[in-house]
Amino acid sequence: MIKKLFTVLALVAVLASTSLAQWQNLGAFPDTSYKGGTHGIAVDPDGKVWVSSYFKDIKWVTGTDTIPTAGILVFNPDGTQASFSPITVVTTGGGFVVDTLKGNCRGMGTDEVGNILYCQSGTTKIFKIDYKTGEGIAKGEPYDYVLSSLTAPSTDAAGNIFVGPVVGGGSTAIVRLGSDLQYIDNAVVGPPDIARTFEVSADGNTI
């Protein structure tokens, strides 16, 4: 038994060193000037990198005021910002519902086609954003079902979106939302804490 264990460990060590050798450190992205409490990150199908800080580091300047937000920075693969970056406001509901990202970013992910999912605390919300344009697609407010600040989200192949509680246990739940971010049902009640993110299998049956 001990020999078998050592053999397995040796194979793991060899495979790990081989896999690590395939990676090359290209330095800081987008450059060394980028600093902050990044709490959410996602990469879209075009290779753009979406990041957001837990802290309200991005200012939204209106005609009469300057509002601190936990907005989203969007970087092209070459490190330059996308034309619609930063995103400090998300508009949904056919243009009639406007949300300033005044909460704290709790995590980000992508849906089944690469659109961006952004979770915030403060007022607990989840947004879906078009990865091509930066425009809002949908908004959900699942606090009444999750009963906690949100983790980063995950998506199955059918487009169902799962999000859970940072602090689990009790009556908190990992919930399943539709592609419109509206509540469908509970996937897991009373998950263990503490969580920041999780993954869901393509068929949606394994978390």
At residue 6, does pLDDT exceed 50? Answer: no
* Range(s) of the domain holding residue 58: 36-189
114 part of a folded domain: yes
- Token pair belonging to 65: 């005021």
196 part of a folded domain: no
Residue 21, pLDDT score: 65
**Cβ proximity of 142 and 92 under 8 Å:** no
137 part of a folded domain: yes
User: Minimum mean pLDDT among 7-11, 165-169, 187-191: which range?
Assistant: 7-11
8 part of a folded domain: no
Residue among 71, 86, 75 at smallest CA distance from 47: 75
14 part of a folded domain: no
Tally the domains of the chain: 1
Residue 51, pLDDT score: 97
Q: Select the more confidently predicted residue: 30 or 181.
A: 181
Q: What are the distances in angstroms from CA 50 to CA 3, 84, 128?
A: 47, 12, 13
71 part of a folded domain: yes
- Predicted TM-score (pTM) of the model is 0.87
129 part of a folded domain: yes
Helices assigned H by DSSP within the chain: 2-20, 143-146
Q: Stretch 93-117: mean pLDDT, rounded? A: 94
Tens digit of pLDDT for each residue in 110-120? 999 999 999 99
Q: Select the more confidently predicted residue: 47 or 33.
A: 47
Helices assigned H by DSSP within 113-164: 143-146
The domain spanning residue 48 has which CATH number? 2.120.10.30
